[in-house]
Amino acid sequence: MRPEFYKTLLSPFWLILLVLAVVLPPLLPSYYLHIIILTLVYVALASAWNIVGGMAGQISLAHSLFIGVGAMFSTALLLKLGINMWLGLVISAVISGVLGAIIAWIDFRFRLGHLSFVLITLAFAEMGAVVVEGWDFLGGASGLLLPRDTGNFLQFQFGGGIGAFWAMLVLAVAAILINVAILNAPLGYYLRTIRDNENAARAIGVNVLRYKIAAMVISAMLSSVIGTAYVRYLTFADPYLLISPVIVIEIVLFATVGGLGSAFGPALGAILLVPLGEILRGKLGGVLPGLHYFIYGVVVIAVILITPSGLLPLLEKWWARLRGTAPARK
């Protein structure tokens, strides 16, 4: 493994953040614990999306389909067929991986431009939403209610808020580590080459189809697994939440604000914006209708205008100045 892997992994900022994340939640009221769990969900989802959207430069809006498959299909398998949710998680992840491979193949076969790829993936997401809302097996528009969480781990139950926190923390850390591993592996170099100049990548012999499919399959399967864990925490498979394109738009926002293409940028965006949005909604939602959305929007616009490449590169520059060193080139 390359030295950069350990240097990035052992960054003091992230170690301190991880320690705080482990120590504080058991001491917090349930409302703030919910915000932390939701933040970890989006850290994991934004990191999973970053493999395709950040490293490979393909702005995919199909990830709501993968999240929805993980959430809705695993729930339906449990409730309608009695299949253990652990097995349902695996089945859903495989289905998501196949769908991701098909989307990547379509992109390669028809040489889609960036805008065309966005529209194609949005179409897949919308078709998935229509299928879910119209299929009784998946609960239709009414959704599906999961059995009460009694803490039976073998039945994919976490035992309430603290258990869900640990499950989401593991998934969030795993998603970030997968990003770090890919960035420091040949796959990461090939994906960045494709992102920067696909024609040049082809000219030097990079197998574009293979690496696009690999990125999409990894990202899709990881998103599906997170979707399954998320729905277990929610205890209700709501199609309007879990397979709506709105959820992937939020993911793209978090990844962009944090810093696309880096291992920790999407996580940073989610860590900052998810608690901000939830706290603003909780504190200001009843003061003046829409005030929390307005403030949230102003903050996001300000961040994007000040640092278009994301918050993480800006923080790296500040850190380099404090240490009196020049920031390393990407």
The ranges assigned to domains in the chain are 3-244
HSE at residue 291, side-chain half, CA atoms within 13 A, is 10
Contact 254, 247 (CB under 8 A): no
CA–CA separation, 64 and 220 (whole Å): 10
Read off the tokens for 8: 């990035």
Strand intervals (E) in 201-307: 236-237
Q: What is the largest CA-CA distance in the chain?
A: 62
Residues of the chain with pLDDT under 50: 1-6, 329-330
Full-prediction pTM beyond 0.85? yes
Residue 52's nearest CA partner among 148, 118, 126 is: 118
For residue 185, is it left (φ>0), alpha (ψ between -120 and 50) or beta? beta
CA distances from 35 to 41, 161, 270, 276 (A): 10, 11, 11, 10
Q: What digits encode the pLDDT tens for the residues 36-57?
A: 999 999 999 999 999 999 999 9
HSE at residue 94, side-chain half, CA atoms within 13 A, is 6
Strand intervals (E) in the chain: 144-145, 236-237
Residue 225's nearest CA partner among 59, 100, 55, 53 is: 100
Q: Which residues contact residue 299 at a Cβ distance below 8 angstroms, ignoring those fewer than 6 apart? A: 276
CA–CA separation, 137 and 28 (whole Å): 38
CA–CA separation, 70 and 184 (whole Å): 28
Read off the tokens for 112: 């889609």
Q: Supply the pLDDT for residue 12.
A: 66
**DSSP string of 248-269, one letter each residue:** HHHHHHHHHHH-TTSSSHHHHH
CA–CA separation, 252 and 36 (whole Å): 19
Residue 267's nearest CA partner among 191, 185, 178, 207 is: 178
Total Cβ atoms within 10 A of residue 192: 17
Total Cβ atoms within 10 A of residue 234: 18
The b-or-e profile of 54-68 (16+ CB within 10 A means b, else e) is bbbbbbbbbbbbbbb
Specify the 3-state DSSP secondary structure of 237.
strand
